[in-house]
Chain A
Amino acid sequence: MTLLDEARPANLAMLSLEVAQFYYHEARLLDERRYDEWIELFTSESTYWAPVRVTREGDPDRMQRGELALFDDDFGTLELRVASLSAKSAWAEIPPSRTRRLITNVTATESDVEGQVSATSNFLIFRSRLEATEHTFVGAREDVLARDGASWRILERTILLDHNVYTSDNISVLF
């Protein structure tokens, strides 16, 4: 075993830790509704996609671009979503929900493109609204991140919600 091979798992672990720290920061921005700072984590080229999950006989995992999605956003529409959450008439979030994002199972691997990594993470988002209105969103994210100084930018995000029917009146949280 060469030195390089021995170093690899350690490097990967370091990378995952670093990305995890980034995700904790990101989760905090959303939980604290610091949407202006959150949108800064994307670039004008970013994509943000959450396909619907269909229980298809014999083909349970098929998800295809062009089929129905919960989000199929570019940076422009993602900016609109963020702006809308801060609007004076965002009734779904006035008064604001209390949200808590738990981000786990973070992995990160170097991609072929210099300065980019592919990262996966699981999330559980708890949303408490008004009194006892409570919603939970669970799923995984697959991201392409680009190094940006000491931090990262999200170039591509795929959100795999584990829900077929959302039991939440609406979805006014971001993932």
Chain B
Amino acid sequence: MTVGSHLADLVGAVQYDKGLVARSIFVDPEVYALELDRIFANNWLFLGHESQVAEPGDFITTYMGEDPIIVSRGHDGHVRALLNACRHRGMRVCRSDEGNTSFFQCPYHAWTYSSAGELEGVPKFRLGYAGVLDKKEWGLREVTRVESYRGFLFGNWAPEGPSLEEWLGDFTTYFDLIFARDPAGIEVVPGAHRWTVDTNWKIASENFAADMYHVEHSHARPAELGLMQAMPDEGYQISAGMGFVGHAFTRPVSEDAGGEEPLHSYWTLPNIQTEFLAEMRKQVAEEKGAALARLIPLGHGALFPTFAFLDLEQFRLMRVHHPQGPDRTLIHQWCVLDRSLPADVKDAVRKQYELTFGPAGLLEQDDGENWRECQNGMRGFIGRQLDSNMMLGLGLEKSASEIVGDDNAPGVAGGIWSEGNQRRFYEHWQRFMQAPSSAPASEPSPGRG
């Protein structure tokens, strides 16, 4: 896509280093169209966890940008991501969230694809196509690169660019503390929370990248109910690698944790994983040192552009903010458990997640309201010409190693009251938006053969 000067101006109007983000980027349809190319067809996007497609024939469906995707473990044992669109007329060949199948048959004219996406069956192949249609050329379009880190599957349309691990960069240090602290790995509670919020995907994503600033007021409701303590002024947020972590914590509330270090939380819900997490911290401390182990549980954060997580003593979730136009976001969210947790604790963790952070959760309800109204405040002719103020903590950032007190803590850090992670979010956004995407947008279709 070549970019007209109007669009280049809009993208260039973001001055993250000054804490200014032009509001047009949240509402302008041209900006959105360019995002689908340069952000969503040119980045590592979360697809799912390997355990969700454990057996040959297992599949789940998701999105990359607005493109419907099947994540399928083929009968060769290989996981692929396939564009869920029949090569004949584009119909979605798979219309379920998940399942196990030996083939995907299109309901329209019955073109049939293997679990690896190869076109295997074409009705009237001899009579209508004279038997010369090259089926090898007409398999489901496969996502160019699918890679896994710690069982987390990501897909990328761009043939060039960093590998998944290069893209995660030194953020893997933090990723491991969240998702790989249990040597037995993680499991995903069956079922997902799926809902739409009438807001731009970046509003949701940057919130998870580290908006501790909203917690005190947006989530005053749980505090009113005694579920949360007042926010502390101590804490910090870190950006590392090409991902982000917004990490914040408060004074100890679980002195009885039994670990060497007290656990920390601004929640007053029962700390049902206390014992387990203390054990994890002990194990991680032996391997990586006490300073990093103290970061468990890590808090909330995001990987650019749309993967987000929340890791608390009470529960842990992961989610994706799929874009559905400039003013709509589809959220897919899962509850993630450490496999070694006792069964009754797993159950309690799931329930605390449902109570607080599902779409009906006591916290998440208010985020949905507020994000929709951000969009409403920005969409007008004048409104979209203003900047959003992201100056919180500007000029107050340090190295993460200094703040965490460990040379092994990579990245840049701000205090708890900072929008440093958001500034980094828009820095990445602008960098991708100003560079032509390497995605193969329009390969020529093969001839009939």
Contacts and interface: CB of A to CB of B under 8 A. Distances in A.
A80 B193 contact: no
Interface string A47-64: 000011011111100001
Contact of A66 (B221, B347, B364, B368): B347
Contacts of B351: 72, 77
Contact of A87 (B97, B221, B350, B370): B221
A51 B190 CA distance: 11
A165 B195 contact: yes
B196 A166 contact: yes
Nearest to A69: B354
Given A64-B190, A87-B220, A92-B366, 16 more contacts: A52-B194, A54-B192, A56-B98, A57-B94, A57-B99, A59-B99, A67-B191, A71-B354, A88-B220, A166-B195, A168-B195, A168-B196, A169-B195, A169-B371, A171-B365, A172-B360
Interface string B92-109: 001111111100000000
B196 to A, nearest CB: 5
B228 to A, nearest CB: 11
- In this complex, the interface size class of chain A, counting residues with CB under 8 Å from chain B, is 35 or more
A2 interface: no
B197 interface: yes
B364 A170 contact: yes
Contact of B366 (A73, A90, A164): A90
Nearest to B371: A169
23 contacts: A51-B191, A52-B191, A54-B190, A54-B191, A57-B59, A64-B190, A70-B193, A77-B351, A80-B225, A81-B360, A83-B225, A87-B220, A90-B365, A91-B370, A92-B365, A92-B368, A133-B198, A165-B195, A165-B330, A166-B195, A166-B196, A167-B195, A169-B198
Contacts, number: 140
Interface of A: 51-52, 54-59, 64, 66-73, 77, 80-81, 83-84, 87-93, 133, 164-172
B142 to A, nearest CB: 21
Main SS at interface, chain A: loop
Main SS at interface, chain B: mixed
Interface of B: 59, 94-101, 189-198, 217-218, 220-225, 227, 330, 334-335, 347, 350-351, 354-355, 358-360, 362, 364-372
A170 B204 CA distance: 13
A167 B191 CA distance: 17
A132 to B, nearest CB: 11
B221 A91 contact: yes
Contacts of B347: 66
Contacts of A52: 191-194
A93 B190 CA distance: 30
